[in-house]
Structure 1
Amino acid sequence: MKKHCCEDMAYHVNFECEIHENPFECPDKIIFFDNRKNDYGLIIHDGGTSCIIIDYCPWCGSKL
């Protein structure tokens, strides 16, 4: 498992909803992490699978 920049980021990246299997359908899942590209993104909950790639952690400010 990848070590993330802070506990908050690790919590949100590893969050698993008990109701929704698809992270893009869960309103509580806000961060998507792509292991292949090593990218972090803010999930846009508009019914699709869109994300806004982020370069800095929203909680601690570290460069991702």
Structure 2
Amino acid sequence: MKRHCCENMTYHANFECKIHENHFECPDKIIIFDRKNNDYGLIIHDGVTSSISISFCPWCGSKL
């Protein structure tokens, strides 16, 4: 498992909803982490599978 920059990022990047199978349908899932490409994104809850890539942690400000 990858080590993330802070506790908040670790929690949100690894969050698994017990109700929604699709990350994009869960209102509690706000960070998407692509392990293959080591990319982070903020999920846009607009009814489709949209996200915005981020380069810095929204909680601690570390470069991702």
TM-score range, shorter chain: over 0.9
Count of equivalent residues: 64
Query: Percent identical across equivalent pairs?
Result: 77
SS of alignment partner, residue 24 of structure 2: coil
2:43 alignment counterpart = 43
Equivalent runs, 1:1-64 vs 2, <5 Å? 1-64=1-64
Write out the 4+ residue segments of structure 1 that deviate beyond 4 Å after TM superposition.
none
User: Greater helix share, 1 or 2?
Assistant: 2
Query: CA RMSD of the aligned region, Å?
Result: 0.5
Instruction: State how far apart, in whole Å, the 1-side matches of 2:10 and 2:56 are.
Output: 14
Partners in 2 of 1:51 and 1:35 — Cα distance? 15
TM-score by length of 1: 0.97
**What stretches of structure 1 of length at least 5 have no aligned partner?**
none
TM-score by length of 2: 0.97
